[in-house]
Structure 1
Amino acid sequence: MSDKQFTRLDSPSKTPYPKIATKAPLSLFYKRRTGDKVLYTMIQNGQLKTFEAEDYRQLHQDYDFELMIVLKGQLSCELESHDFRFKTGEGCLLNPQITHTEALADGCMVMFINLSPTLLTELLPASDSTGPIFSFLKHNVQLANNWQRSYLEFTKSLPYDNNQMFHIVLDALQQEVATQKVGAVYFQHGLVLRLLTALEDANRFTTTTTALDLSKEAYLVNRVVHLIEGHFGDISRKTIEAELHYNAEYLNRLLKQQTGKTITAYAKSVRIKKAEQLLINTDLKIQEIADRLGFSSETYFYHYFKKQTQLAPNQYRLKFERLNPTESY
């Protein structure tokens, strides 16, 4: 049984994979693994349906854009024959051309939001954002580009839970999709725009866009960048080599060609950027920031940070006032 069996369509002759449609402008799906079974929940058109079944792992495509968010635990995901792992607070946004499937680890809970091209065509003009989420959607929703295979991955921007408002928006969206009250559709549209805007907030999420129809080299550089960002700069060349199954020297050369930085230099710049964000946007103690960014000691972090910025961590914090003392949308 599929988590989307209610609206599954036969696959077109041009693709060997099932093609799934929700037949609704906006749909929410939840999958939660408990032992050998998975609890499926579907919310759309004011209705909520739940059932328990085997974990559906067949490769498939969607007629809609699919936003996947891991709410708890970890899952493995196959996107166009590439394997990925996503953990709590991470996810991806797929265009309809991406063949994919996922497998949940025990205790994992995942949320899927399906956005129809028709809905996005209506909503996107309401935003003048040029950020990665809206740019991705505006490009891919155009008919001239509907043959392209691309997706966007997002990870937590900081090793710090500052996404409370993001989850409030998710909860509100679920409630509005589950209701048929007057005006619910307008609330849904506003909440979708808020959700996408939240994903573009660099203090909450880091996004990496990948176009699979580009060269292998461009794809690998995107993967290297995503790994470095996802580890907040605390990752070695050896680990990247093991993750991507390519020689580290080769990956280092590709990154240097496209960004002007080696893996080590790029990782260092990301680590410093994360430290600056934590110093400016949180009240965490210096020792805790050092721990969260993988430094062996507060002293080592102190010298590392001062060498790069010419300011001690406390001096940097005092110089730059906290930019966003409260979260709001």
Structure 2
Amino acid sequence: MEQDLIERLWKHTDEIDEKNAWNHRDSYSEEHLRKLREQSTPLLPAELFLSDATSPIFMSFHHEEANKNLHAHDFFELIYVCKGHPIGVINHQEIDLKEGHLCIMNPNAEHYFKRYFEAEDLILNIVLPKDLFQKSIFRILLGDHVLNAFFIRYRLENEDQPSFMHFGHLEDIDRLIELLLKEYLDRRLYSKVIIESLLTLIFSLLLRNYKAKSSHGSNAMAEILDYIYMNYHSVTLELVAEHFNYHPKYLSSLIHKQTGQTFRSLIVNIRLQNALNYLLYTDYSIEQIVDLVGYKDKSSFYSLFKKEYLMSPAEYRKKYS
């Protein structure tokens, strides 16, 4: 990474630290700040970092002292190792990080750095609001049913279990991170559009690499669930059982043991998650979405959707898109 960019971001980081959110009285009351400090694991909101409306993300370097304490966020965090060999701990799991490594943490993932020395290590921190992360990812998923199945499955099975994805060094990512940092610091015309496009490129490369590695080797139950997630719009228990040569009742018990859900509940949840993606990130009509996720009866979809989200699909789109 260019030394000029490093120096500029350190200056930016120090300026932000001077008016950091812990002492930002304009936006947060003393009572709110006191409650944050008293939490056993402070949950930091995105608003603490994203006060600058000129950029959709926030970037800074990690300070040695600030990251020794256990904390969590309500946003996605991407960390990129510029140099060194820091050791992070995420949800009690030790992560050995090296130069060029990148890690994406889900909201609520509890973490800190067990080993991080500013004289030797340098970590770039990127704050990604949930909507921006999902928007960047969904652009990729629309054209890839396998990856879409992976992320829907990931969201359903890990919604209440904060997690992360750790990637090794990829040279193409190095160049894109540097471009992202330059756009963030320069704040030139169309920077927002370019930043969002660069994020999509970064996630595309990471997912392509992850997909290539994960395609080697799979157990029988994983293959069954993959099949269900990729064919959710038309699949039935009988069809899955026939495809994998299982008795339907036995397969049903296997699915329940693995997911904690009945086959029907699993299909409903997958369909609803896909419906949310279409509502938030496409202009498809609700009638089109009902058909895309596999419902023949519009009223059944509306009933299930309202039961789960306490509002109609149109209301959900208006509120969150």
Bigger share in strand: 1
Identify, as 1 or 2, the structure richer in helix: 2
Higher relative contact order (CA 8 A, sep 6+): 2
TM range (shorter): 0.3 to 0.5
Question: Which TM-score applies when normalising by structure 2?
Answer: 0.47
TM-score by length of 1: 0.46
